[in-house]
Structure 1
């Protein structure tokens, strides 16, 4: 069993497809025997994902700084809720408890977490796979921008290729699981 760290919005967005994708990902994670680590909120897409994983029999760990417990409405029904002192500890704890990272649609916090995890991978601080769930083309403009950074010489192709993207939870988990599986030795 692997643990997937998922970054996603504490809001639901204005398209029900985003919430549906979070729930589908929750079902897929639990069905495949994976657990979830996430930001610990009971609201928005964060809460919907956690609720879905638990409803499908999976384990969920939330990580939330003390100052956000009330603001983000900490989810009290999780398998485990870890309280930390600040956002730096939150991100470090989520990364330490995970085997792979996924970003769903979200705002600046989601993007900040995604880019920090990807930067840590680039710097060799971890070798965990990272994926984007590109629901309704949410991340398509970002992916186009990143491809442009390769074309303009600011990002190498190998680093860009390490950011996996897929349109559905099933496709994304299939791709991430391939990167989790050790290569056979000849």
Structure 2
């Protein structure tokens, strides 16, 4: 049970969706940020950007955000959940591009502290072909997900167990984006 009364059935609106329904005026800009960072036009595919969110959320031990964004990434990556699990288990051996690995290292540094992002990490990403926009947005995705993770866990919201619980959410995000057609927050 959440730490505050969100006025909703937590099993119907798990994780961040409950607090967003509770406070729609703050949900709107948060969903807009997620939409721009994770789904907007970009040189990084949406699945890779979702993978960055899942990776950071896993490092933050945020069950809901890690499971949901893992499902969102898997739904948009050809290799599916297998790749997501490999990245989360061992970044060094996961079968991803050197550029994505370098960006995920930056995201991992941000998860610890923004000050852990070094000129060497940025130079490594650039050497693998990362653009300034990709580096910028990786840092912002990682920072935003540290906030989202703390929002979800700080309010003690419900997180369904099992990856199958997140499949419907993944379908909705892929089809409609952040904020459903009916206006329900979806981050």
TM-score by length of 2: 0.31
Q: Which has the higher helix share?
A: 2
Greater RCO, 1 or 2 (C-alpha within 8 Å, sep 6+): 2
Q: Which has the higher strand share?
A: 1
